[in-house]
Structure 1
Amino acid sequence: MEVIAVQKSALDGMKNDIKELLELTENATHKYTSIFKEEQWLDNQEVCLMMNITKRTLQSYKDKGILPYSKLNRKNYYKLSDVQALLEAGQPYNTNDNGFTYE
C-alpha cells in the first residue's frame, strides 16, 4: 500500500475545484432538462420511420423550413408535436417547376 501526503491547503483547493465543476455541470444540465421533459424529441431515423420518408426528403423539409428542428451536439432533433402536426396537415410532396410529383 502506498501512502501519499498532501498538504491540507492543496486538498481543500482540489475539493473546491471539484465542487465548482459539479456546480457548473448541474447548471448546464438543469438548463436543458426542462426542455426535454416538456416535449418528446425524435431523431432523424425516428422521424423518417414515423413519416415514411427518406433522409433526403427530411433534409428537404428542413431546408424549406417545413419541419422545424433543433441541433444538439451535431445531431438534429424534432419535436413530436411538430411531426404530428405535419402528418395531420398532409405531407408536402416534392414537386419540380413542371408540376410533376416524385418521391
Structure 2
Amino acid sequence: MEVIAIQKTALDGMKNDLRELLEMTENATRKYTPIFKEEQWLDNQEVCLMMNITKRTLQTYKDKGLLPYSKLNRKNYYKRSDVQALLEAGHPYNTNDNGFTDE
C-alpha cells in the first residue's frame, strides 16, 4: 500500500473543486430530469427486440417518419409510448397507404 502526503490546503482545494464540479453537473442535468422521469426511453437494440425487427427495418421506420426519435451523443433514443403505439397500429410494413409495399 502506498501512502501519499499532501498539504491540508491542497486537500481542501481539491474538495472544493470536486464540490463545484458536482454542483455544475447537478445544475446541468436538473432541467432534463423531468423529461426522463415522465417517459421511458429505449435505444436501437431495445426497440428492435421489442418489435422483433431488424436494424434496417428500424432505419426504414425512421426514414419514413413512422417512429420519432431523439439523438443524444450520436445515439438514437425512442419513447416507449411511441414504439408501443406503432406496435398497436400493427406492422406498418404491410400497408400501402404509408409508402410501403406488401411483402
* TM above 0.5: yes
Root mean square deviation of aligned Cα = 2.5
- Structure 2: which 5+ runs fail to align? none
- Offset from partner CA, 1:4-28 (integer Å, 9 cap, x none): 45373x5554343222211111112
Amino acid at match of 2:36: F
Amino acid at match of 2:42: L
Residue aligning to 2:27: 27
- CA drift of 1:72 comes to 2.0
Residue aligning to 1:81: 81
Residue 71, structure 1, aligned to residue 76, structure 2: no
Residue 6, structure 1, aligned to residue 42, structure 2: no
Amino acid at match of 1:52: N
- Structure 1: which 5+ runs fail to align? none
- Percent of residue pairs bearing the same amino acid type: 78
Q: Aligned with 2:32: secondary structure? A: helix
Residue 46, structure 1, aligned to residue 46, structure 2: yes
